[in-house]
């Protein structure tokens, strides 16, 4: 009966009806406390629960459905299709809140589902209500057909993903209070990425602020002032030089297909209002860092603080007469020094490198290739701190998602219906392949895999991957060699 998992298709009418209901309340799901927008995720989960309730154990069905609430009106939903063992396949991370939408920037109503051919428009279609509707529809299909499975299939919809200002609302509190502990008995797929391919790595991040004090003076007498803008620019340049020396591209980033390395950059600058003929006496620069998951963000943050401390002790070390000219000084002997202070705006988080030796990852690769015809794992400089937290707690976390990356958090946000249909097939095949992997008698497979691993240590261009046929369950190895073995 687990074979049923390899052939599940989306019920389009059911999916669209649910998504329409979810988008209709997305105005109340906007999450931006600084704008006074606190979401009420229960408005979305009410629609999810209404669809699941006829199939719940409370009504004689098979689904174990629970709303877990830590903050009133902001519940999380845990849905379990039980298997015959304690092993699990879990899909979490699809969230019930959305980022704000300003209707003035949209050509359609952001809080109403609009379909134009294959495209579905509305706030949350890509991030992440489309995933919520897709996974709910999948669980209803399981509950309707009742296949006998060894592994339980678990889906967790979370609150408060879009803003980390308030803690103890969503997945962080679920993990802290033990609601997710049983999910360590199998892979955990975080379903909130994009473009239908496996995401195998994300960056860590932190935001910073640098305040610079100079000496306000007439611009015709630059030798008597300290230009805060120039001091700020040269301070940032100094920190960047030191940063890229100490944290170059890590060798493992190529293995994970990271497009960019770790970065330190300014993103905003401001000064107190003054006349154009005055040397500015103050300046504030803000920015962020993006850190490869193979560096520890605490070490990086400590290093950056040491760079700024050196500037603070002697601002003359960043003077740049070749660029600024001979009169741009940051130390006025006998009078004053320029001042540079630095702070972190938010607590930093490490990135994640997913386990590439995981059976869950193998299942995701194979399912994606079967449905889409190719598989191209990628890594990004964006950050998903909640995922790294789960990995640090011992969960085998993999990342996937089926929205459109160019439409994330954008005006006229949209998702592709055909992509989400493929997502149903990929997710169900992931479950099938992982369950079949756990049924295989592995000793002979491991003997052959050990031989291949030994061979790969001798010949760097030998590549292999375990493959399983969805129809027959037969396992084989795909082995390829590039290069000259006899050099």
User: CA 439 → CA 120, 154, 253, 433, distances in Å?
Assistant: 39, 19, 34, 10
In the block, tokens 């401001």 appear at: 270
Distance of alpha carbon 23 from its chain centroid, rounded? 22
Assess whether 349 carries a catalytic annotation: no
Query: What CA–CA distance (Å, rounded) separates 293 from 75?
Result: 31
Query: What CA–CA distance (Å, rounded) separates 386 from 159?
Result: 12
Q: Name which of 255, 200, 204, 252 is nearest 378 in CA terms.
A: 200
Ramachandran angles phi, psi of 67, nearest 5°: -95, 125
Helix (H) or strand (E) holding 476: strand 475-481
8 Å CB contact between 96 and 163: no
In the block, tokens 């209901």 appear at: 21
Catalytic residue among 41, 137, 161, 230: 161
Please confirm whether the linkage preceding 128 is cis (ω < 30° from 0). yes
Catalytic residue among 41, 42, 97, 419: 97
Query: What CA–CA distance (Å, rounded) separates 11 from 143?
Result: 13
Neighbouring CB atoms inside 10 A of 60's CB total: 8
Q: Name which of 359, 348, 346 is nearest 432 in CA terms.
A: 359
E strand segments, 102-172: 114-116, 119-121, 152-158
State both tokens at 471: 């129809």
Assess whether 411 carries a catalytic annotation: no
User: Active-site residues: which are they?
Assistant: 97, 161
């Amino acid at each position: 009966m687990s074979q049923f998992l390899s052939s599940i298709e989306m019920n389009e009418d059911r999916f669209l009806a649910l998504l329409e209901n979810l988008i209709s309340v997305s105005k109340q799901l906007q999450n931006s406390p600084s704008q006074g927008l606190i979401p009420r995720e229960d408005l979305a989960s009410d629609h999810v629960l209404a669809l699941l309730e006829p199939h719940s154990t409370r009504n004689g069905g098979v689904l174990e459905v629970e709303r877990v609430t830590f903050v009133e009106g902001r519940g999380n939903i845990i849905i379990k299709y039980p298997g015959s063992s304690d092993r699990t396949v879990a899909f979490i991370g699809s969230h019930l809140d959305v980022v704000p939408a300003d209707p003035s920037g949209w050509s359609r109503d952001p809080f109403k589902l609009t379909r134009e051919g294959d495209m579905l428009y509305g706030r949350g279609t890509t991030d992440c209500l489309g995933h919520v509707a897709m996974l709910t529809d999948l669980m209803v299909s399981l509950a309707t057909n009742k296949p006998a499975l060894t592994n339980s299939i678990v889906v967790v919809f979370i609150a408060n993903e879009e803003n980390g200002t308030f803690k103890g609302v969503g997945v962080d509190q679920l993990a802290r209070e033990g609601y997710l502990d049983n999910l360590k008995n199998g892979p955990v797929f975080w379903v909130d990425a994009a473009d239908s391919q496996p995401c195998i790595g994300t960056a860590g991040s932190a935001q910073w602020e640098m305040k610079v004090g100079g000496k306000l003076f007439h611009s015709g007498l630059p030798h008597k002032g300290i230009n805060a803008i120039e001091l700020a620019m040269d301070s940032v340049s100094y920190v960047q030089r030191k940063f890229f020396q100490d944290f170059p591209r890590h060798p493992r980033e190529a293995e994970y297909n990271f497009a960019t390395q770790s970065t330190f950059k300014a993103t905003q600058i401001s000064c107190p209002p003054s006349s154009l003929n005055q040397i500015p006496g103050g300046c504030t620069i803000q920015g962020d860092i993006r850190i490869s998951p193979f560096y520890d963000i605490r070490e990086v943050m400590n290093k950056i603080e040491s760079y700024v401390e050196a500037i603070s002790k002697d601002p003359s070390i960043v003077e740049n007469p070749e660029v600024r000219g001979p009169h741009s000084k940051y130390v006025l002997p006998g009078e004053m020094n320029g001042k540079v202070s630095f702070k972190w705006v938010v607590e930093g988080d490490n990135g994640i490198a997913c386990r590439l030796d995981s059976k869950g990852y193998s299942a995701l690769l194979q399912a994606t290739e079967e449905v889409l015809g190719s598989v191209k794992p990628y890594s990004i400089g964006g950050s998903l701190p909640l995922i790294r937290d789960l990995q640090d707690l011992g969960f085998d976390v993999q990342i996937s998602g089926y929205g459109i990356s160019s439409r994330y958090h954008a005006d006229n946000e949209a998702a592709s219906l055909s992509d989400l249909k493929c997502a149903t097939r990929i997710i169900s095949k992931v479950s099938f392949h992982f369950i079949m992997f756990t049924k295989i008698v592995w000793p002979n497979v491991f003997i052959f895999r050990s031989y291949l691993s030994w061979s790969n240590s001798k010949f760097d261009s030998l590549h292999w991957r375990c493959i399983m046929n969805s129809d027959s369950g037969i396992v084989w190895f795909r082995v390829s060699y590039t290069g000259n073995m006899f050099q």
